[in-house]
Amino acid sequence: MGAVYKCENAMKRSNELFQNAISLLYQNMDKSINETTISNYIASNYLAAGLVDKGLEILKQNNICNINSSLIGSTYAMRLKQPEEARKYLIDSFCEIINNVLLTMTGMAFMYTELNDEDGMNAAVWLCDFFDSIKSSDAGNAFVDKLKAVLLAQCAVWKANRGCVDEAREYARNAYSLAMKFDEEPIYTMQGIKFLRDEECERVSYDGLGKTAMESIENIVFKDGELSQAQEFVKHIWEELKNEKAKG
């Protein structure tokens, strides 16, 4: 009982200081600290002290761009045993995670490659494995296949740039095959993604790369005005594959 009392007193004092900090924000020069971030610290204090309803209320009020959805959802699911209340927040969080992983790991792949670091390819391969891991076992196409096709084509360029021509050719062929398969039956929703129910699969996925997987690859991988030698090599393979398809 004493421990709980001390915890509640510490929480109250901490939240008083946080509230005071909000009143002093006009002096703050660090844009990463604002009323939303401080309010979320206050909410976390309430959760830690067992005042779950108060904590959730604040988290919901400050759930900008789903920044609190994972905590709200897990609190409903684990502490309050309210799965239906948890569902919306956890699904929103899951979709955000997919997008964040995509952007983060694609960025890492390009960053390390520009630094001539082998972790560029490692990041790309990891991301391809991630795409495969979130597809349902019985899924045909899924929106991540389009993204994977683009990534495989880019890997072909990176391999060619390192002089690994056989591996580059294999990556290009795999990219072409996957892009063609996707474009035959394109999916622009979350259909085929694990952990999502039918109504949740209707969410539209937008990548901004191009209307089709083939167009996306040509937009991203061969978009430069003056192509590098590696890009020219892969583009030549690409054109050969397209000609083979046209013939037969």
pLDDT of residue 248: 64
In a domain, 231, yes or no: yes
* CB proximity list for 170: less than 8 A, separation 6 or greater: none
How many structural domains does the chain have? 1
Range of the domain at 161: 134-248
Identify the DSSP state of 25: G
Picking from 100, 95, 104, 105, the residue whose alpha carbon sits closest to that of residue 204 is 95
Judge whether 151 lies within some domain. yes
Task: Please state, rounded to an integer, the average pLDDT across all residues of the chain.
Answer: 91
* pLDDT score, position 27: 86
Q: Is residue 35 part of a domain?
A: no
SS3 204: strand
Encode pLDDT of 24-55 as tens digits: 888 888 888 889 999 999 999 999 989 999 99
- Per-block average pLDDT, block size 10, for the chain (248 residues)? 55 85 85 90 92 96 95 98 97 94 96 96 97 91 95 97 96 97 94 89 83 93 86 94 82
Q: Are 139 and 169 in contact (CB under 8 A)?
A: no
Assess if residue 37 is contained within a domain: no
Residue 133: burial class (beta carbons within 10 Å; 0-12, 13-18, 19+): exposed
At residue 61, φ and ψ (nearest 5 deg) are -65, -25
Task: Kindly state the tokens that stand for 87.
Answer: 């569902």
Q: Which two three-digit tokens encode residue 121?
A: 């390819």
Structural domain includes residue 167:
yes
- Rounded to two decimals, the pTM is 0.86
The letter for the amino acid at 213 is A
User: Residues 215-227: pLDDT tens digits?
Assistant: 999 999 988 778 8
Q: What is the pLDDT of residue 1?
A: 34
What's the pLDDT at 2? 35
- Are 144 and 178 a contacting pair, CB within 8 Å? no
DSSP 92-117: HHHHHHHHHHHHHHHHHHHHHHHTT-
